[in-house]
Amino acid sequence: MTTDSCIGEEFDELKRGAWTVEEDSLLIHYINRHGDGRWNTLAKSAGLKRTGKSCRLRWLNYLKPDTKRGNLTPQEQLLILNLHSKWGNRWSKIARHLPGRTDNEIKNYWRTRVQKQTRHLKIDSGSQRFVEALQRFWMPRLLEKVEQSSSSSINSTASTLTAETSQNKLTADHFQTKETPCTCTCTCTSSSSLQPNIWASDTCGKMLPEMYGDSAVCSLQDIEFCYIETTNELDLGSDTLNFQLPPDNDRIRSDDMAADMDYWNMDELW
């Protein structure tokens, strides 16, 4: 197949390697005028001596306006671990649930950060032991960071969690249910005319598309914790997120979560 492996003399003219500012500018301006897609044609029309594939990758991974730069937040890391435990190396699928993040970025994170730790601990990243380490130690530790970074006041034993949102996120504490599935209710009251979107996931990486919208009820199975974040900024003073957990007597606490923490010595790793 010669999809984008251009043949003949054109091949010699194709540029590879790092993109220059001028090339970026050409690509951005062309897409702003004509839109993306038809990448091979686009590359030629824009005057870029690159393959269509290269242009597409550059645009999606780096130049696209809503692309987030910088370190992954603890929330994002947590979600990646969740989703990877469910879907494996389905990077693009995982990336679709992290707005602004690319599959490439997530893949790099996994390889450099997560797999580094599996090497350090001398465990196979595909092993049950690794999955257990993720779910029992790394995720709770990340969750702690999430909670520390949020000024929301969470009472994990309350059946209703309410946060005056100084940030646009609300995190419920660890809990496990005696009965599955259980029902959580999430509502968001926004003073702005623009209603926020809400999403949530459980530790198994189950995403809840039915949670999109300003109010939703969802059924979850095997919950250890639930995480809710609005995808747009709320009014810091007046907006409210409410997260209704299952009744307290339907939940069990996972207090023995960190029994073996010393063994893993996670502080050295994250």
Partner DNA sequence: AATGGGAACAACCGCCTATTC
Partner DNA sequence: TGAATAGGCGGTTGTTCCCAT
Residues 220, 208: Cα–Cα separation, whole Å: 9
Q: Which is nearer to DNA, 24 or 235 (CB)?
A: 24
Which amino acid appears at position 226 of this protein? C
251 phi and psi angles, rounded to 5 deg:
-115, 155
Sequence-ordered list of residues with C-beta below 8 angstroms from that of 138, at least 6 positions apart, any chain: 81, 266, 270
**By CB under 7 A, how many residues form the interface with DNA?**
42
- Name which position in 28, 53, 100, 242 contacts DNA (CB under 7 A): 53
Q: Which of residues 55-114 bind DNA (CB under 7 A)?
A: 56-58, 61-62, 69, 71, 89-93, 103-105, 107-109, 111-113
Q: Does residue 148 touch DNA according to CB under 7 A?
A: no
Would you call 5 helix, strand, or coil by DSSP?
A: coil
Q: How far is the CB of 216 from DNA (least distance, A)?
A: 26
Instruction: Please choose, from the candidates 109, 127, 107, 106, the residue with its C-alpha nearest in 3D space to the C-alpha of residue 118.
Output: 127
* Backbone region of residue 169 per phi and psi (left: phi > 0; alpha: psi in -120 to 50; beta: other values): beta
CB of 75 to DNA, least distance (A): 16
Using CB under 7 A as the binding rule, whether residue 138 contacts DNA is answered as no
* Smallest distance, DNA to C-beta of residue 51, A: 7
Q: How many alpha carbons lie under 13 Å from residue 96 in its C-beta half-sphere?
A: 7
Phi and psi angles of residue 34, each rounded to the nearest 5 degrees, phi first: -115, -5
- The count of other CB atoms within 10 Å of the CB of residue 59 is 19
Q: Report, in Å, the least distance between residue 11 CB and DNA.
A: 10
Please pick, from the candidates 54, 150, 177, 230, the single residue that binds DNA as defined by CB under 7 A. Answer: 54
Q: Is position 191 an interface residue for DNA (rule: CB under 7 A)?
A: no
Restricted to residues 30-49, the positions that interact with DNA (CB under 7 A) are 37-41
Site for DNA, rule CB under 7 A: 1-5, 15-19, 37-41, 50-54, 56-58, 61-62, 69, 71, 89-93, 103-105, 107-109, 111-113, 116
